[in-house]
Structure 1
Amino acid sequence: MEKLILTTEDHVPLAAHLFMPEKSNGKLLLINSATGVKQQVYFSFAQYFSDHGFTVITYDYRGIGLSKPQNMRGFHGSMRLWGSKDYKELTRYIRRKFPDYKKYCLGHSVGALILGMNKDSEMFEELIFVGTQNAFVGHLRTRTKIEAYLGFGIVQPLTTSLFGYFPANWFGLGESLPKNCAYDWRTLILNRKSTNRLLEKIDDYSKNLKQKVFVIRAEDDVWLTEKGVLSLLNDTYPNLKPTYRLIRTSESDKKEIGHVNFFRSYNKKLWNIILNELIDR
């Protein structure tokens, strides 16, 4: 594992890690993280794929983990910048350093939503979506819907306005977020257009994507619904060619997958689901 510091075109340093296999299979996997999830969460998963011949790259978006500034208050970051600048810098690096590799991208939660913000997404042979959807509150289950209205309708804007960033860790929602990342997240939840509303504010390449996409959803992910997943594939990425896989809780040794825990080492046996999808491509 090698640590990299990449600099975006608007001069923001990003921390990334490169996992090089002992014997390469000529395939590269880029991992786009979920909102507020540090890249270290994906290290075991990345090493597993590297052990199977893949070159793997993880990274933190601006304002997250190792790409976090000393002072979050007023830091300039948004989900739209995550897609158009940060993710863009990673694909630029991959094009330069690994031009002849077969390339794949795994988007976890928001990591799939930002694919439409970068024309380079067209370079990937196949996409993997894990725990992602159009997260509009109307797609959510009743209890989660109430929590979403209270959290994103009241608590999040109040705390973000007060502190100049969103202390998401106070509410068990991962790393603290730059102010405009929090507001973009609020848009995903409260605006009926969800992801499409963010794409309206930026260059939108979502309809250009025509690859195969392997869409994984965990049975016990309370923030995810089939309706939301289908909305993303039908309304945001209508030209992708999806295959769907629902992972039952009983398939996990700890009977626990949720929104993030697919990537925990105790669910290592589930990683074959993705490996088998890509290994023969």
Structure 2
Amino acid sequence: MQNLDILTEDHYVLSAHIFEPRQNNRRILLINSATGVKQQIYFSFAQFFAEKGFTVITYDYRGIGLSKPNKMRGFPASMRIWGTKDYKALTSYIKTNFPGYHKFCLGHSVGALILGMNKDSEMFDEFIFVGTQNAFVGNLKLRTKIEAYLGFGIVQPLSTKLLGYFPASWFGLGESLPSGSAFDWRTLILNKKSTNKLLEKSDDFSRNLTQKVFVIRAEDDLWLTEKGVLSLLHNTYPDLKPTYRLIKTSESEKNEIGHINFFRSYNKKLWKIIFTRLEEGSHNVED
């Protein structure tokens, strides 16, 4: 594992890490993180794939983890900037440094939603979606729906306006978020158009994407529903070619997957599900 500093087109430095294999299979996997999730969560997963011959890159969006500024209050960032500037900087780096490689992108939660904000998404041979959906509150289960209305209808805007950033960690929602990212998250949940509403505010390349996508969701992910997942694939990425995989809690060593824990080392045996898929995909591309 090596540290990388990636410079965006607007001159912000992002923290990234590259995991290089001993025996290189000329396949590269980029991991787009979930909202407020530090890249370290993905390190064990990335190392697993490096041991299988893949080059893997993780990174933090601006305002998160090792890409966080000294002062969060008023820091200018949003999910749209994560997609149009930060993710774009990573795809530009890959295009420059890994020509001729088979390219894959794993989008965890918001990491899949930002794909349509960057034309470079067309360069990937296949996508993997983990725990991602159109998160509109109408797609959620009743208890989660109530929590979403209270949290994002009242608590999130009040706390964000008061502090100048959203203290997500206070509510068990991961890293604190720049205010723009927090309000974009609010849009995803409270606006019926969800992801499409954010895409209206940026360049939208979602309809250009025609690749295969392997869509994984966990049985015990309380913030995810089949309705929300299908909404994303039907309404936001209608030309992707999805294969769906529901992972049951009984497949986990600890009977626990949820929204984040798929990437914990105790769920290592679940990672073979993705590895097998990418192996098959690579062979199909070569054919």
Q: TM-score range by the shorter chain?
A: over 0.9
Distance, in Å, in 1 between the alignment partners of 2:221 and 2:273 is: 17
Q: Partner of 2:285 in structure 1?
A: none
Q: Partner of 1:27 in structure 2?
A: 27
Distance, in Å, in 2 between the alignment partners of 1:196 and 1:253 is: 36
The AA in structure 1 aligned to 2:29 is: L
SS at match of 1:25: coil
SS at match of 1:31: strand
Q: Partner of 1:212 in structure 2?
A: 212
Offset from partner CA, 1:45-94 (integer Å, 9 cap, x none) = 00000000000000000000000000000000000000000000000000
Distance, in Å, in 1 between the alignment partners of 2:191 and 2:83 is: 19
Q: Partner of 2:266 in structure 1?
A: 266
The AA in structure 2 aligned to 1:237 is: Y
Distance, in Å, in 1 between the alignment partners of 2:215 and 2:73 is: 36
Query: Where do 4+ consecutive residues of structure 1 move more than 3 Å?
Result: none
Distance, in Å, in 2 between the alignment partners of 1:76 and 1:130 is: 27
Q: Partner of 1:2 in structure 2?
A: 2
Distance, in Å, in 2 between the alignment partners of 1:174 and 1:279 is: 32
Deviation of residue 23 (structure 1)? 0.5
Deviation of residue 237 (structure 1)? 0.1
The AA in structure 2 aligned to 1:96 is: T
SS at match of 2:245: strand
The AA in structure 1 aligned to 2:263 is: F
Distance, in Å, in 2 between the alignment partners of 1:243 and 1:279 is: 15
Segments of structure 2 that go 5 or more residues without pairing to the other structure are: 283-287
Q: Partner of 1:192 in structure 2?
A: 192
Distance, in Å, in 1 between the alignment partners of 2:11 and 2:149 is: 36
The normalised TM-score by structure 2 is: 0.98
Q: Partner of 1:172 in structure 2?
A: 172
Matches within 5 A, 1:84-233: 84-233=84-233
Distance, in Å, in 1 between the alignment partners of 2:88 and 2:196 is: 19
The AA in structure 2 aligned to 1:232 is: L
SS at match of 2:104: strand
SS at match of 2:5: strand
Offset from partner CA, 1:213-236 (integer Å, 9 cap, x none) = 000000000000000000000000
Deviation of residue 201 (structure 1)? 0.5
The AA in structure 2 aligned to 1:90 is: L
SS at match of 2:57: strand
Distance, in Å, in 2 between the alignment partners of 1:9 and 1:124 is: 21
Distance, in Å, in 1 between the alignment partners of 2:157 and 2:12 is: 25
Distance, in Å, in 1 between the alignment partners of 2:67 and 2:100 is: 29
Q: Partner of 1:74 in structure 2?
A: 74
Q: Partner of 1:55 in structure 2?
A: 55
Offset from partner CA, 1:179-214 (integer Å, 9 cap, x none) = 000000000000000000000000000000000000
Deviation of residue 279 (structure 1)? 1.4
Distance, in Å, in 2 between the alignment partners of 1:7 and 1:179 is: 22
The normalised TM-score by structure 1 is: 1.00
Q: Partner of 1:277 in structure 2?
A: 277
Q: Partner of 2:46 in structure 1?
A: 46
Deviation of residue 256 (structure 1)? 0.1
Q: Partner of 1:237 in structure 2?
A: 237
SS at match of 2:181: helix
Distance, in Å, in 2 between the alignment partners of 1:39 and 1:99 is: 25
The AA in structure 2 aligned to 1:13 is: V
SS at match of 1:214: strand
SS at match of 1:271: helix
Deviation of residue 149 (structure 1)? 0.1
The AA in structure 1 aligned to 2:277 is: E
SS at match of 1:227: helix
Deviation of residue 42 (structure 1)? 0.0
